[in-house]
């Protein structure tokens, strides 16, 4: 079955929406891994266990996104080559990006497991939570290679316009994850380790099955023996394009880790509330992330085909969509915030803090939409170097605002959520400035391959 989508012709809005919906389904399913973990850990193991798992979230994300960034960069190259019609170089990019991703995935898995406890102590995780937090982080980070593999095959399929096939395999893995969570945590009583094992095993299975199918039965990318060779220049180009994105993701994660460290200083209730609000926020943010990926692919294919004006039209359509969604979510949080947070925890104080927190950040979702859509456009155009600026802005804002705002007596721990809101606002402004500068116009990643 050929599920590829050529976005260089036809309705810009139609392509973006049609491509976004399967991506959204996949991202929502992927987020159910975290949601299910949170529900089961919170309900069956208690608030302390939930706080311990939450304390690892930002640093685990750091290790994951180093590999994810490389996959996104490789996808930019493949989408531009697909749009230009150069299938031979496109296949070469697929093979060599796999080599790069595998190397980084294994390396990051080893490093993250070895440094788990040291990193958690640096993050000021309370001693009574340290044991559970360390166990969860070691298992979750030990599965970084599986996460890297899944995101790589996802990036390859997206690059050629196929957002449907990965969704099918992720759906099956999501069901498996829920079953394994109940088995390991509730039946076998493995504690937080069981939740981590369930997630890693489910995502690993999704990656393996999707790779086998896509290259065995799929028709979008057919590899021959001639394609199966290492090419130094192509590997270097994959690294050059993807590394700024990986570093950006790493910088964002560092800023989130710094914010988590501030959160950890306010005790178990605030830690649990922040964990719940982050889980809900991660779930609600998926339409933005899906739209960003769709814009990136749309832009990459059209830049590769020499249709930059069409790429700009696609961005404008995406910005309208993201703004409408942002205000819809704000209304949802304002009306049903307490009910949403009560699904995860039972403590009244934790529910109160978390429900107010998601409304505070929800007011600035329109800025988050700008960040995602413009970032997707710049990445697709090959302007991945801006990612470093984007990441630096988020680090400076989160590290700078958090201690200042939380130190104000009338603000206190609410400064944690205000920091996120202000960070989005400032980062969105920088993104628009970069787009308006027009520097993306001569940054095509595949132009000299």
In this structure, the number of other CB atoms found within 10 A of the CB of residue 122 comes to 12
Q: Residue-wise pLDDT tens for the chain (449 aa)?
A: 556 677 888 888 888 888 888 878 877 776 666 666 677 777 788 778 877 777 777 677 777 777 788 888 888 888 888 887 777 888 888 889 888 888 888 888 888 888 888 888 877 777 888 888 888 888 888 888 888 888 888 888 888 877 787 778 777 777 888 888 889 988 898 888 888 888 888 888 888 888 888 777 666 677 777 778 888 888 888 888 888 888 887 788 778 878 888 888 888 888 888 888 887 887 888 889 889 888 988 998 888 888 889 999 999 999 999 999 999 999 999 999 888 888 877 788 888 998 999 999 999 999 999 999 999 899 888 888 888 888 889 889 999 999 999 999 888 999 999 999 999 999 999 999 999 998 888 766 555 55
Angle at 138 between CA 135 and CA 140, to 5 degrees: 105
- The tokens describing 52, both together, are 């311990």
Determine whether 189 is exposed, middle or buried from the number of CB atoms within 10 Å of its CB (0-12, 13-18, 19+): exposed
Please give the pLDDT value at position 301.
Answer: 86
Please give the pLDDT value at position 15.
Answer: 87
Whether 377 contacts 311, CB under 8 Å? yes
Please give the pLDDT value at position 104.
Answer: 85
- The tokens describing 204, both together, are 């690993």
Whether 291 contacts 71, CB under 8 Å? no
Please give the pLDDT value at position 151.
Answer: 83
Looking at the chain, the number of H-run helices and the number of E-run strands are: 16, 0
CA gap 52, 45 in Å, rounded: 11
Please give the pLDDT value at position 435.
Answer: 92
User: Residue 235: which of 426, 346, 97, 390 has the closest Cα?
Assistant: 97
Residue in the structure block whose two tokens are 């304002």: 334
User: Residue 397: which of 373, 370, 425, 374 has the closest Cα?
Assistant: 425
Name the 3-class secondary structure at 396: helix
User: Residue 86: which of 309, 301, 310 has the closest Cα?
Assistant: 301
């Amino acid at each position: 079955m050929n599920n590829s989508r050529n976005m260089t012709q036809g309705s810009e809005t139609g392509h973006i929406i049609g491509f976004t919906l399967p991506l959204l389904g996949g991202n929502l399913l992927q987020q159910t891994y975290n949601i299910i973990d949170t529900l089961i850990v919170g309900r069956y193991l208690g608030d302390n266990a939930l706080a311990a798992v939450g304390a690892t979230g930002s640093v685990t994300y750091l290790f994951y996104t180093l590999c994810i960034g490389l996959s996104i960069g490789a996808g930019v190259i493949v989408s531009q080559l697909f749009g230009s019609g150069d299938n031979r170089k496109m296949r070469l990019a697929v093979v060599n990006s796999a080599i790069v991703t595998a190397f980084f995935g294994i390396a990051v898995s080893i490093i993250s497991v070895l440094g788990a406890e040291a990193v958690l102590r640096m993050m000021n995780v309370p001693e009574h939570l340290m044991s559970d937090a360390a166990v969860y982080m070691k298992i979750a980070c030990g599965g970084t290679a599986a996460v890297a593999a899944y995101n790589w095959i996802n990036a390859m399929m997206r690059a050629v316009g196929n957002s449907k096939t990965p969704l099918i395999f992720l759906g099956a893995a999501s069901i498996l994850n829920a079953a394994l969570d109940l088995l390991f945590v509730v039946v076998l009583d493995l504690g937080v380790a069981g939740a981590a094992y369930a997630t890693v095993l489910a995502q690993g299975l999704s990656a393996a099955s999707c790779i086998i199918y896509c290259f065995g039965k799929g028709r979008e990318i057919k590899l021959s023996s001639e394609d199966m060779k290492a090419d130094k220049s192509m590997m270097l180009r994959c690294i050059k394009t993807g590394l700024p994105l990986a570093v950006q993701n790493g910088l964002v994660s560092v800023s989130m880790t710094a914010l988590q460290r501030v959160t950890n200083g306010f005790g178990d209730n605030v830690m649990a509330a922040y964990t719940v609000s982050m889980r809900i926020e991660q779930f609600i943010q998926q339409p933005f992330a899906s739209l960003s990926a769709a814009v990136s692919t749309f832009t990459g294919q059209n830049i590769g085909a020499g249709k930059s004006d069409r790429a700009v039209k696609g961005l404008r359509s995406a910005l309208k969509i993201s703004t409408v969604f942002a205000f819809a979510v704000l209304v949802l949080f304002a009306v049903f915030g307490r009910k949403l947070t009560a699904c995860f925890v039972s403590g009244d104080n934790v529910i109160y803090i978390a429900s107010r927190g998601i409304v505070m950040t929800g007011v600035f979702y329109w800025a988050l939409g700008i960040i995602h859509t413009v970032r997707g456009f710049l990445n697709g155009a090959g302007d991945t170097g801006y990612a470093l600026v984007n990441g630096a802005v988020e680090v400076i804002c989160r590290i700078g605002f958090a201690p200042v705002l939380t130190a104000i007596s009338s603000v206190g721990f609410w400064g944690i959520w205000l920091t996120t809101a202000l960070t989005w606002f400032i980062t969105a402004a920088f993104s628009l400035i970069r787009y308006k500068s027009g520097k993306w116009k001569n940054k095509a990643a595949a132009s000299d391959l």
